[in-house]
Structure 1
Amino acid sequence: MELYEAIRTRRSLGRVKKDEVPRELIERALEAASWAPSHHNTQPWKFIVMTGEGRSKLGEGYALTAAPGFEGLSSEEREEKLAKERAKAFRSPVVIAAVCSPSGDKRALLVEEVAASHAAVQNLLLALHAEGLAAIWRSGEPMYNPLMKQPFGLDEQEQLVGLIYAGYPDITPPSIPRTPISEKTVWIEQ
């Protein structure tokens, strides 16, 4: 797939088939992610790939972050709600947790390390698309909750920067209009 075509046609798609995705496709996409730029070449990213029952790690994280909100419910109601939270991890056959793992290089600011990790996620999304897969970059409150780090064994400095759900597309990607770039560009020539 040509680069500009990949950039223009990639969409966030959460509806995917349950079909297993070959490991080689994911490994190629992760290799592409590793070529993202990083200040001082710190390469502060790491990826946790979950398939099959491995996705239960993420399900455990969803349950841990939601559990405090279920206090006061009967044990049956609580378990029903926790089961729904755990099920979120199984919305696609592959889930990749993207992690910013700061390098410790004193020249690299944390904001730069996080930005580099985000750039790696964008490379990953484009590569997954080039492999014929659909993906969606999910985040939100549960991902940022410190309890979500526990199932993945992340240390205090590490942070999740994205949960990428991937699989074969189950819908035709919609056409999404873009604001003309001329409306978002300022040229300073003198």
Structure 2
Amino acid sequence: MSELTNAKGEAVLNAIKERRTIGRVKQDNVPRGVIEQLLEAATWAPSHYNTQPWKFIVMTGEGRKQLGEGYANVYTATTGDTDPLKREKEAKKAYRAPVVIAAICSPSVDPRATLDEELAAAHAAVQNMLLAAHALEIGAIWRSGAPMYHEAMHRQFGLQDNEKLIGFIYAGYPDMTPSAPSRRSVDEVTKWVEA
């Protein structure tokens, strides 16, 4: 096996190993140019037949209200509870970071593309975004969970019937130190099949 001998390769591998989920960020504004770099990185993800099946909705400032209303609507739809204080508590989840990016899989009409491959490509786009955030010293967390999959949230974002939310990426300047990484060994998860 050859050893890594170039700086570019070493930088990429280090970024992959050093990136961490950052769940607590400061409320300081993130410049639009930085956010655009995250989106640009996302669009360079691989996709089968080059379908590029992703869309992004960037929410900052009061724009995060769109997501907040989605959380509140999902709460009411699942519990039947319309209590304004409880709905407000749910809505506040959208304000945990100064930037929230809704990542959407918008499958291609190309008949060769399968939904599984389109979803995989959109997930790869989010991983690119997370790696770019790490490189730009932006903390980020890829949030999902039951509210993201609920029809009320899909309506909130005006998704077409074939589109799916694949994550909310909360981003901002880090306000925490992540814990040490824990990964299974390569030997534990790899089987070699050789002649």
Q: TM-score, normalised by structure 2?
A: 0.92
- Which residue of the partner structure matches residue 138 of structure 1? 143
For residues 44 and 177 of structure 1, the distance between their equivalents in structure 2, rounded to whole angstroms, comes to 31
Unaligned runs of 5+ in 1: none
One-letter code of the match for 1:48? I
CA-CA distance at 1:69 after TM superposition = 3.8
- Which residue of the partner structure matches residue 93 of structure 1? 98
Q: TM-score, normalised by structure 1?
A: 0.94
In percent, how many aligned pairs have the same letter?
59
- Which residue of the partner structure matches residue 67 of structure 1? 76
Where do 1:16-55 residues align within 5 Å? 16-55=25-64
Please give the secondary structure, in 2, of the residue aligned with 1:15. coil
RMSD, aligned α-carbons: 1.2
Where do 1:153-164 residues align within 5 Å? 153-164=158-169
CA-CA distance at 1:70 after TM superposition = 3.9
For residues 59 and 137 of structure 2, the distance between their equivalents in structure 1, rounded to whole angstroms, comes to 19
Please give the secondary structure, in 1, of the residue aligned with 2:92. helix
Please give the secondary structure, in 2, of the residue aligned with 1:163. strand
| Candidates 108, 112, 120, aligned match of 2:117 | 112
One-letter code of the match for 2:117? E
For residues 7 and 15 of structure 1, the distance between their equivalents in structure 2, rounded to whole angstroms, comes to 20
- Which residue of the partner structure matches residue 5 of structure 2? none
One-letter code of the match for 1:23? R
One-letter code of the match for 2:149? Y
For residues 81 and 90 of structure 1, the distance between their equivalents in structure 2, rounded to whole angstroms, comes to 15
Unaligned runs of 5+ in 2: 1-7
Please give the secondary structure, in 2, of the residue aligned with 1:20. coil
CA-CA distance at 1:68 after TM superposition = 2.7
For residues 163 and 85 of structure 1, the distance between their equivalents in structure 2, rounded to whole angstroms, comes to 15
CA-CA distance at 1:40 after TM superposition = 0.3
Aligned residues: 186
